Amino acid sequence: MTAVLDRPASHPAPVRRSRRSLRRTALVLGPLLILALSLGYPLIWAVSSSFTDRSGAYVGTDTWRAALGDDAVRNAFVTTLKVAALSTAGCVVVGTFLAFVLAFVPFRGSSLVVRIIESVVSLPSFLIPLALGVLFGPVGVIASATGHRFSFMSSLLGVVLAEVAFYTPFVVRPLLAAFASFPAAHIDVASSLGAGPLRIAVRVIAPQVWPSLAAAAALTFLLTLNEFGIVLFTGAKDVMTLPMLIYTKSMVSSDFATAAVLATVQLVLSVSAYLCYRTIVRRFGATT
């Protein structure tokens, strides 16, 4: 009887399971609460501020009508899409070529080239236009040597070139992963049947890797759509994108209501691009 009384009480299995469930729930809800406070609140504030005027008074959709009717806003919207589309196209062309060469044309030092390309994404984006500006800027080396006849960094071309230089690794890496999983026997069979390199690339390789390429292109478009540092540091005054206009309206003009409208438009564009990217990845199982 004494031995029975001295035995330590044990919790029933349902109680232990309930406590474990509560701990797991707390571990999930904690980060979600922090995320909601750090991201959700600013987003809600930006959207709600878009229905106010510069003094913070509620004005309904008046600020929206004024902002969307402004030619500068419409031009910035078009410029944002143009820069993102051109940069994405450039990244796809350059990235596909680099990935194809690195995967199917082996040479000494190819692994080092891959590491160098991957290391570009670890750099701050503004370093790219600064480095290119030393060569192609208004007072750069090339411009000085050619009597300022070859200077384009302060233009749309300069912005696109800088973004292509920075975001091309986001195309190269997924394609290298896709090429690595591609059966080499398919290439050997096509070659034995008389297909040339171009025909093999178009008819054999491309159909197998295009989902990864499409996902990489969608991700690159999303990133370039929101790029701010590269556009700012190229000094291209005529290239006014939505992020640049948001900065100008909020920090220079102190027009936070109009900036909130533009930020909401930018948010819709970004979410749409992200949903497109996730749809490609989920539907085709693309490698990114």
Least confident of 2-6, 103-107, 203-207, 271-275: 2-6
Place of tokens 């059966």: 183
DSSP per residue, the chain: -HHHHHSPP---HHHHHHHHHHHHHHHHHHHHHHHIIIIIHHHHHHHHHTTB-TTS-B-TTHHHHHHHT-HHHHHHHHHHHHHHHHHHHHHHHHHHHHHHHHHHS--TTHHHHHHHHHHGGGS-TTHHHHHHHHHHSTTSHHHHHTTTSS--TTSHHHHHHHHHHHHTHHHHHHHHHHHHTS-HHHHHHHHHTT--HHHIIIIIIHHHHHHHHHHHHHHHHHHHHT--HHHHHHT-TT---HHHHHHIIIIIS--HHHHHHHHHHHHHHHHHHHHHHHHHHHHH----
Least confident of 12-16, 112-116, 197-201, 209-213: 12-16
Q: What is the pLDDT of residue 256?
A: 92
Confirm whether 89 is domain-assigned: yes
Tell me the C-alpha distance between 110 and 21, whole Å: 50
The domain in which residue 83 lies consists of 62-284
Q: What is the pLDDT of residue 54?
A: 86
Please, what's the largest Cα pairwise distance for the chain?
Answer: 104
| Comparison of pLDDT for 12 and 98, the residue scoring more | 98
Residues 44 and 169 in one domain: no
Residues 95 and 191 in one domain: yes
Looking at the whole model, is its pTM more than 0.85? no
Q: What is the pLDDT of residues 124-182, one digit of tens each?
A: 888 888 888 777 777 667 777 766 666 677 789 889 999 999 999 999 998 998 888 77
Tell me the C-alpha distance between 251 and 48, whole Å: 19
Residues 90 and 201 in one domain: yes
Q: What is the pLDDT of residue 24?
A: 76
Q: 108 pLDDT exceeds 50? A: yes
Residues 223 and 186 in one domain: yes
Confirm whether 3 is domain-assigned: no
136: tokens are: 């192609």
Residues 184 and 279 in one domain: yes
Q: What is the pLDDT of residue 55?
A: 85
Residues 26 and 107 in one domain: no
Q: What is the pLDDT of residues 33-68, one digit of tens each?
A: 887 777 788 888 888 999 999 888 999 899 999 999
Q: What is the pLDDT of residue 11?
A: 54
Q: What is the pLDDT of residue 87?
A: 96
Residues 162 and 237 in one domain: yes
- Identify the sign of the CA torsion 55, 57, 59, 63: positive
Q: How sure is the predictor about 222, in pLDDT bands with cuts at 50, 70 and 90?
A: very high
Residues 29 and 155 in one domain: no
Residue 80: phi and psi, rounded to 5, are -60, -50
How many domains in the chain? Answer: 2
Q: What is the pLDDT of residue 10?
A: 52
Residue length, the chain? 288
Do 258 and 63 touch, CB atoms closer than 8 A? yes
Q: What is the pLDDT of residue 1?
A: 46
